[in-house]
Amino acid sequence: MSVQNETDSGIGHPPLTEAMVWDAEEARRARARQIEAVARWLVPVLVVFLTLFIWDRFVVVNEIPHFILPSPGRIWQQLVADRALLGASLIITLRITLMALAVAVVGGVILAILFTQSRFAELVFFPYAVILQVTPIVSIAPLIFIYVQDATARVLICAWIVAFFPILSNTTLGLKSVDHNLRDLFTIYGANRWQRLIHLQLPSALPYFLGGLRIAGGLALIGAIVAEYVVGSGGAGSGLAFRILEASYRLNIPRMFAALTLIAVVGVTIFALTGLLSHLLLRKWHESAIRREA
């Protein structure tokens, strides 16, 4: 009877304090964050390896010839065998992509600032930006082929046209999305137009710009590949798109898949780097990045 009374009264099991409950909850959240961080990288990797395994087994079991559907192992062998040829083409495609992205960033940000500082400039130039965005690049490319003689410049212009509008649109939206209370506060303290731009509008537009950058990075690569298909480029200065066309003419299907693999790797790398840049710049203060860490 005495033991039962001690147990019921809580002597055998001390009551949980609020601090102990809080510590247990924090430990649970920490474990959940660790699992989420590992799963964020592990799950995509496992999915990729599972896809490659299923692909390989499908080819082997059905005895599909490599000139119809090569196995992942055969594609890897082709990558190794053509590493010099495909590596040179990869550098050309990557250079065009980065150049187009850089020009799109500089031009898009400058024009977005001009639009927010001058209503007249926005009314005059924004329709042209919209026209460039909604017009398919395959319809503009033949004109570029006629008026521009340099092959690299042709592809660069096409890639820039595709990547330009997301930077312009997102940055313009960010510059216009400043909190009205903060804007009124700057006005009360007598800030001029440029002080308001540098200290208020540009920091507020940074998340929007970074979102546009992530979109434009992939579009610059797509624009470079599509432009090389349409505009045409050959010889020693040919990118990955030309290698795909060349391989298709020769029915070298493994080389086609090898070039496509390099394009996919470049696209994923650009997306990952722009995402990392966004995280590093926003993690200390912006709500979207803070939520991911919470």
Q: What is the DSSP string of 80-142?
A: HHTHHHHHHHHHHHHHHHHHHHHHHHHHHHHHHHHHHH-HHHHHHHHHHHHHHHHS-HHHHHH
Phi–psi pair at 69, nearest 5 degrees: -145, 105
- pLDDT tens for the 294 residues of the chain, in order: 444 444 444 445 555 566 666 666 677 777 777 777 777 778 888 888 899 899 989 988 888 888 888 999 999 999 999 989 999 999 999 999 999 999 999 999 999 999 888 888 888 888 888 888 888 888 888 888 888 888 788 888 989 999 999 999 999 998 988 888 888 788 888 888 888 888 888 888 899 999 999 999 999 999 889 888 876 554 445 889 888 988 888 889 999 999 999 999 999 999 999 988 988 888 776 666 665 444
Question: Which parts of the chain fold into alpha helices (H)?
Answer: 2-9, 18-62, 72-81, 83-117, 119-134, 137-147, 151-176, 180-188, 193-196, 202-231, 240-249, 253-282, 287-293
CA-to-CA distance for 240 and 99, rounded, in angstroms?
Answer: 16
- pLDDT for the residue numbered 229: 80
| DSSP secondary structure letter of residue 236 | G
Q: Indicate the pTM of the whole model.
A: 0.79
Q: What are 269's two structure tokens?
A: 């790398």
Residue with tokens 């798109």: 241
Q: What are 87's two structure tokens?
A: 């590596």
Domain boundaries, the chain: 2-60, 71-293
CA-to-CA distance for 5 and 11, rounded, in angstroms?
Answer: 9
Closest of 269, 275, 289 to residue 94, by C-alpha: 269
Instruction: Tell me which of 1.10.3720.10, 3.30.450.20, 3.60.10.10, 2.60.40.4070 is the CATH number of domain 71-293.
Output: 1.10.3720.10
- pLDDT for the residue numbered 20: 65
- pLDDT for the residue numbered 23: 65
Closest of 244, 213, 218 to residue 104, by C-alpha: 213
- pLDDT for the residue numbered 6: 45
- pLDDT for the residue numbered 166: 92
Closest of 262, 216, 258 to residue 102, by C-alpha: 216
Q: What angle do CA 76, 78, 80 make, to 5 degrees?
A: 70
